[in-house]
Structure 1
Amino acid sequence: MYDLTGFQRDLLYTIAGQDDPHGLAIKEELEDYYEKEIHHGRLSPNLDEVVDKGLVEKGAADRRTNFYTLTARGRREIEARREGEDQYVGELLSES
């Protein structure tokens, strides 16, 4: 996951937290998180990038709506990232 941008990592976490979310649901979730509008010109290419990297699978709900799911590799990448984060901040957070 080292080669992803922060926005692309946020996409993975957002997709992981929903059941087969469609593009608009992902957009709305990210807008809540970032507290600003996410434009299609930013969302779409980044979704395509995580699909191309094999972290997310894209399916068609209908002719206009795509849905997204994490692949097994995407889940492994999130798990590895969280383990790394725990290594650095786990003790700090447990001291609180």
Structure 2
Amino acid sequence: MFRVSELQRMQDLTGFQRDLLYVIAGLDEPHGLAVKAEMEEYYTSEIHHGRLYPNLDTLVDKGLVEKGKLDQRTNSYALTRRGQREIAARREWEHQYVTLDE
């Protein structure tokens, strides 16, 4: 069962930031351009660097995402354990209200 305190932290995020978390969770090797490409596919519009990277930095600052380096120019991103717990708590909360027949 989710803890309300975990859910409240997720509520502090924008929808865009939540979507970033889900994309990072779903990619094998998340790095800035791969995350950007996935987001552009979903949003069907260009995601500018000025929107993407400050939001990624916010997720890092909140302790949900860890930022590393793949090389001199490329940052990698990975969910922290807290980020994983936040997603799990959010999905459990959503499932209380939305169930889809498959």
Deviations 1:24-79 (A, max 9, x none): 00000000000000000000000000000000000011111000000000000000
2:30 counterpart (18, 21, 24): 21
Task: Determine if the alignment matches structure 1 residue 2 to structure 2 residue 11.
Answer: yes
- TM-score after normalising by structure 2: 0.88
- C-alpha displacement of 1:20: 3.0
Matched with 1:54 is: 63
Distance 1:44 1:26 in 2: 10
Q: Structure 1 vs Structure 2: percent identity of aligned residues?
A: 72
Matched with 2:77 is: 68
User: What are structure 1's unaligned runs of at least 5 residues?
Assistant: none
Distance 1:9 1:88 in 2: 18
Distance 2:28 2:62 in 1: 21
Distance 2:54 2:35 in 1: 13
User: What are structure 2's unaligned runs of at least 5 residues?
Assistant: 1-9
Runs of 4+ residues deviating >3 angstroms = none
AA aligned opposite 1:14: V
AA aligned opposite 1:7: F
Question: Which structure would you say has the larger RCO, counting Cα contacts within 8 Å and 6 or more residues apart?
Answer: 2
AA aligned opposite 2:82: R
Number of aligned residue pairs: 93
